[in-house]
Amino acid sequence: MRLLIIGTLGGQIGAASQIAIQRGATVQQADNIDMALQLLRSGQSADLIMVDVNLQIDELISSLERERITVPVIACGVGNDTQAAVRAIRAGAKEYLPLPPDAELIAAVLEAVAEESHKIIHADPRMTEVIRIADQVAPSEASILITGPSGTGKELMARYMHNKSKRKNGRFVAINCAAIPENLLESELFGHEKGAFTGAVARRIGKFEEANGGTLLLDEISEMDPKLQAKLLRAIQKREIDRVGSSKPVKVDVRILATSNRNMESEVSRGNFREDLYFRLNVMNIKLPALKERPQDIPILAEHFVKKYSAANDIAVRPLSQAATDALARHGWAGNIRELENAMHRAILLASGDEIGAEAILLDGGDGAASTGAGGAASANDGGEAGNLVGRTVADVERDLIIDTLLHCLGNRTHAANILGISIRTLRNKLKLYGEQGLNIPQHGEAERPQP
């Protein structure tokens, strides 16, 4: 855990730093927002920022967003200044932490940010074999391509392999190639010099330099533009990069891991992905099976998520009833582990009594509507949504499916694209088209269907 503290925090910075260090964090301190941004631009990244509530938090967060630096921000302040706390939250801070620092509260905040465990929970023999292969190749320096359907835990596997590698004490840096516009991805990977393009207000270290001595994960590599693939291949082969706007190469020592939910051989044959880059990345392929192909993992993963979200919502842990367990076993899990996690989060909120019954297991049926695990999805003959499709064009049905899925995800484009099984680029293109047609597109946090 890398913690960046901004400001003096009323003299409490020393105590807060010591508590964080005792809990395993590495701590940096900047007196003001400009100094903090310089640290982040120089490649000294952070997993969490704690900032004095009296500083311009809105300016900090807008700068982070503008420069595409993704890190959660916690506002801190001495005493109980409710108005300052509200302003900080409205500006975009995730939480407000009162000072003087409470050791357990700071520990809880650090744990929440680093909540993601890198232990892979499994019991199914098929997954056991995947882990065996991962353990065998993780200590090497070879590039690894991790493939599998959306929601199977490819990034978790990448983090697992980093922690099993010789580079485990170095940084693990991940970049989602599908979530960043094509014209910005190059500078995200390789960095840029001040003035290299509009918005480049200062030199920025890219992900390659940030991961120097550690591991770089190229998530959803198959979505990368072919022109940028050539530059990536050169960086991997030469072990050096060129910042955008600079002619001076920079040496880097990075191990590359990459993920994709697509059939990479097919992408290569269709000309969407460079064959030479594919072979460079695919020294070893770790293939993650769909959840339905590892049925013995369903009950233990369900139990894990029940415990996780019971604790998060301060609810007593209740066991799954046999009927609920049977409903989970029957489901197809198109969204894989991510879908199971969401289902169990809903279940612990909806359950009543001493156990989680089948009535609390709401699963997405084939028509995209939630249905109970006990009852199954509606059919075309029972008056359900499928019976209303006749006479509609495919384009109309596709549009409604995309918009409804985006609403279900509260406007989160990446999550919606994963559920729909399409690339983030395809989703953006569809949404742009719908916007041009006069349809209001759901924004982040929006949960009501917009009207044309």
Spans of all domains in the chain: 2-113, 125-289, 293-380, 391-436
Please state which of the four CATH numbers 3.30.1330.80, 3.20.20.70, 3.40.50.300, 3.90.180.10 is assigned to the domain occupying 125-289. 3.40.50.300
User: From residue 399, how far is each of 278, 389, 393, 427, 439 by CA, in Å?
Assistant: 33, 13, 10, 11, 10
User: pTM higher than 0.75, yes or no?
Assistant: no
**Which pLDDT does position 71 carry in this prediction?**
85
**Which pLDDT does position 201 carry in this prediction?**
81
**Which pLDDT does position 96 carry in this prediction?**
83
Vertex 85: Cα angle to 80 and 87 (nearest 5) = 145
Q: Find the range with the poorest average confidence among 201-215, 310-324, 397-411.
A: 397-411
Tokens at residue 86, please? 């509200």
Residue 189 to residue 174: CA distance in whole angstroms: 10
Phi/psi for 348 (5° steps) reads -70, -20
Q: Which of 11, 88, 81 is nearest to 49 (CA)?
A: 88
My answer on whether omega of the bond before 100 falls inside 30° of 0, hence cis, is yes
**Which pLDDT does position 328 carry in this prediction?**
96
**Which pLDDT does position 370 carry in this prediction?**
43
Q: Which of 166, 159, 290 is nearest to 216 (CA)?
A: 159
Query: Mean of the pLDDT values across residues 421-441?
Result: 81
Count CA within 13 A, CB hemisphere, residue 313: 18
Residue type, 30: A
**Which pLDDT does position 26 carry in this prediction?**
82
Please state which of the four CATH numbers 1.10.10.60, 3.10.300.10, 1.10.645.10, 1.10.3720.10 is assigned to the domain occupying 391-436. 1.10.10.60
**Which pLDDT does position 396 carry in this prediction?**
77
Edge-to-edge order in the sheet of strand 26-30: 26-30, 2-6, 48-52, 73-78, 95-99
Show Cβ contacts of residue 250 under 8 Å, excluding neighbours closer than 6 positions: 209, 240, 241, 242, 243
Residue type, 115: E
CB atoms within 10 A of CB 333: 23
- pLDDT higher than 80, residue 70: no
- pLDDT tens digit sequence for 217-251: 999 999 999 999 999 999 999 999 999 999 899 99
Count CA within 13 A, CB hemisphere, residue 3: 24
Residue 360 to residue 134: CA distance in whole angstroms: 36
β-strand partners of 173: 216
Tell me if 2-113 shares its fold with 125-289.
yes
Superfamily of domain covering 2-113: Response regulator (3.40.50.2300)
Show Cβ contacts of residue 98 under 8 Å, excluding neighbours closer than 6 positions: 76, 77, 78, 79, 80
Q: What percent of the chain stands above pLDDT 70? A: 87
Residue 377 to residue 113: CA distance in whole angstroms: 37
**Which pLDDT does position 118 carry in this prediction?**
62
**Which pLDDT does position 349 carry in this prediction?**
86
- Taken in order 180, 181, 186, 191, the sign of the CA dihedral is negative
Residue type, 371: S
Residue type, 182: E
Report helix angle 322-330 to 336-350, nearest 10.
Answer: 150
**Which pLDDT does position 297 carry in this prediction?**
97
Decide: 424 and 416 in contact? Cβ < 8 Å: no
Report helix angle 33-41 to 57-66, nearest 10.
Answer: 20
Count CA within 13 A, CB hemisphere, residue 9: 25
How is domain 293-380 classified at the CATH fold level? Helicase, Ruva Protein; domain 3 (1.10.8)
**Which pLDDT does position 389 carry in this prediction?**
55
Q: How many residues does the chain have?
A: 452
- pLDDT higher than 90, residue 127: yes
- pLDDT higher than 90, residue 200: no
Query: Mean of the pLDDT values across residues 287-301?
Result: 96
To the nearest whole number, what is the mean pLDDT of the chain?
A: 84
**Which pLDDT does position 107 carry in this prediction?**
72
Residue position matching structure tokens 């500006």: 91
Pairing of strands 95-99, 73-78: parallel
